[in-house]
A and B are shown apart, each in its own frame.
Chain A
Amino acid sequence: MSEYTVKDRVAIIGVGETKYYKRGQSPLSEFRLACEAIKRAAEDAGIDVREIDGISGYANDRNEASRVATALGLKQVGFMGMVWGGGGGGGSAAVGNAAAAIVAGYAKYVVVFRALAQGQFGRFGQAPVSQHVSGAAAYTAPYGLFVPAQWVALRTRRFMHDYGINQEPLAAVALADYYHAQFNPRAVMYGHPLTREQYDKSRWIVEPFHLYDCCMENDGAAALILTSADRARDSRKKPAYILAAAQGSGYRHAATVENSFDYSSSNFKTLAPRLYEMAGITPKDVDCAQIYEHFSGAVMISLVEHGFCQPEEVMEFVTFDNITAPNGKLPVNTSGGNIAECYMHGLELVIEAARQVRGDSTCQVPDCKISLVASGPMVSPVSDLLVHSM
């Protein structure tokens, strides 16, 4: 084993979340939600909150690490890290950074958290109103190209054109999310099943995305706690060991005005090989996958770029039967994910991966040993995580 790896040296020992709300419905402030999720993750881990000595975040989280450390009375902090970039691309990277900090000896117990209260702050799916615009946005905003649904739709449509893909795989992703959420009492869409007829009749947001192809917008907070494999052995819950982590971007993916070099890529092409190499596994070894779904179309492309099927095989592989638990070939987004559990910028996907390998998912995949998380398709950076049980 190479000396330069986090493989099997770090584990997720606790997870926690607040109640998940529809957008704007949390009666509590975003910061209060963050503190509550961290407290619950510490309880789950069986440690005193004050033992936390590292804080790892992403997506320009508004709940600044020093404020969190101060409010919780942390005795000392040895690591505070933030992943560049907005949106969900940094979700797995924040966990990867936490793992690196533990292996480097900067901190013993690192918390990764995300908190969102869009009633208190602005929405992601609506453009800010301003009179003028300059820079890269000057080439898009005056044409009504503003929001992630549109960027992802443009790229998804090119991919669908190149490989002869119709609406079926997109519908499969949305319906699988809603199906899994019906087993998950935490899910915002628990008790609200989705039929194919409802999906087909739902309004277009931007073609090829119906309403149900799009993530929700929610209020809430989620957190997880990592520590070294040595300390994890004594923890209260079964640890979810980090098998591999990867983050980054391909060649000029962030080129502005729709000039990404590999236009319809989910941006995982350079990460996935590094991820599998660190883990020493192949895609066939993955028991279930949590794939960030801001929009359904990006999931099928992410599955391709993680080696689960070829682009020409998307129509046969990405079907409801194949991607639903417990018996699908590769159950995907088994908590309901961003589309039906909660849009916590994908941190709920990391938590679900940990639950799957420790065996307490609400939609448990039988004998699940290895779970993949893919964070942030089509943005830069994106990030990946593999967790497993030992």
Chain B
Amino acid sequence: MAEVKYYLPEGLPTPRAQRDGLDKEYWDATRRHELVAQRCNSCGGFQWGPEAICHRCHSFDLGWAKLSGRGRLYSWIRTWNPVHPALREACPYLVAVVQIPEADNIRMVGNLLGDPLQNPPFDVEVEAVFEDHPDATLVHWKVVDG
């Protein structure tokens, strides 16, 4: 089958959990096709990316909360210049910054699936799409129809 397996070609760096264990839960959850974010067990606030301390209440008691996988398209770009050798045949492609209202408006990044020449409106609703690779699972986004 000449089916396209991944949104971007293989050869880009594969994500790995940090050695200190800070974000292990996030990457483990993606394998189960669950989207989680760091949440403070003390004050309940979300933060992203993961940190060693809560920036609001300075508690070190940080946990993880499961998200619905829905968010708003906060910004996006279309890249035409291959900035990595693996992208030579992959341009243009879209990168999305997604704001998550249910999680204190933290923002997450992924590719925006679909036609790379589309011009999606800002703030449109998007949903997470999981893309399994041998060593890790990536989280992309697509515009929610209707």
Q: Interface of A with B (CB < 8 Å)?
A: 125-127, 129-147, 149-150, 153-155, 157-158, 161, 203-207, 252, 255-259, 263
- Nearest CB in chain A: distance from B9 CB, A: 10
Indicate whether A257 sits within 8 Å of B49 (C-beta atoms), given known contacts A132-B16, A134-B19, A138-B16. Answer: yes
Q: Which of B76, B93, B140 has the most CB of A within 10 A?
A: B76
> Is the beta-carbon distance between B14 and A143 smaller than 8 angstroms?
no
- Could you write out 12 A-B pairs with CB less than 8 Å apart? A131-B13, A138-B16, A141-B13, A143-B95, A144-B8, A144-B83, A150-B83, A161-B75, A205-B79, A206-B80, A206-B81, A255-B48
- Please report the C-alpha to C-alpha distance between residue A130 and residue B27 in the assembled complex, in whole angstroms: 19
> Is the beta-carbon distance between A127 and B19 smaller than 8 angstroms?
no
> Is the beta-carbon distance between B80 and A144 smaller than 8 angstroms?
no
Indicate whether A132 sits within 8 Å of B109 (C-beta atoms), given known contacts A144-B93, A154-B75. Answer: no
> Is the beta-carbon distance between A125 and B13 smaller than 8 angstroms?
no
> Is the beta-carbon distance between B16 and A144 smaller than 8 angstroms?
no
> Is the beta-carbon distance between A135 and B18 smaller than 8 angstroms?
yes
CB-CB under 8 A from B111, the residues of chain A are 143-144
CB-CB under 8 A from A258, the residues of chain B are 75, 97, 107, 109
- Nearest CB in chain A: distance from B100 CB, A: 11
> Is the beta-carbon distance between B77 and A133 smaller than 8 angstroms?
no
- Please report the C-alpha to C-alpha distance between residue A138 and residue B23 in the assembled complex, in whole angstroms: 10
- Please tell me which one of the listed residues A125, A132, A158 contacts residue B83 in the complex, with CB atoms under 8 A apart: A125
Indicate with 1 or 0, residue by residue over B34-77, a CB within 8 angstroms of chain A CB atoms: 00000000000001110000010000000000000000001111
What is the chain B residue whose CB lies nearest that of A148?
B83
8 closest A-B pairs by CB: A138-B15, A133-B13, A256-B49, A204-B80, A158-B75, A205-B81, A257-B49, A127-B84
- Please report the C-alpha to C-alpha distance between residue A161 and residue B108 in the assembled complex, in whole angstroms: 19
CB-CB under 8 A from B27, the residues of chain A are 138
State the interface size on chain B (CB cutoff 8 A).
42
CB-CB under 8 A from B49, the residues of chain A are 136, 139, 255-257, 259
Cβ < 8 Å to A, chain B residues 1-37: 8, 12-19, 23, 27
> Is the beta-carbon distance between B77 and A142 smaller than 8 angstroms?
no
What is the chain B residue whose CB lies nearest that of A208?
B77
Indicate with 1 or 0, residue by residue over B110-146, a CB within 8 angstroms of chain A CB atoms: 1100000000001000000000000010101000000
> Is the beta-carbon distance between A157 and B75 smaller than 8 angstroms?
yes
| Besides A147-B83, A158-B122, 17 other A-B contacts (C-beta < 8 A) | A134-B15, A138-B18, A139-B49, A140-B109, A142-B13, A142-B15, A143-B109, A143-B138, A144-B8, A144-B79, A144-B84, A144-B93, A146-B84, A149-B83, A205-B80, A256-B49, A257-B109
- Please tell me which one of the listed residues B13, B15, B74, B90 contacts residue A158 in the complex, with CB atoms under 8 A apart: B74
Q: Which of B13, B85, B90 has the most CB of A within 10 A?
A: B13
CB-CB under 8 A from A206, the residues of chain B are 77-81
CB-CB under 8 A from B136, the residues of chain A are 142
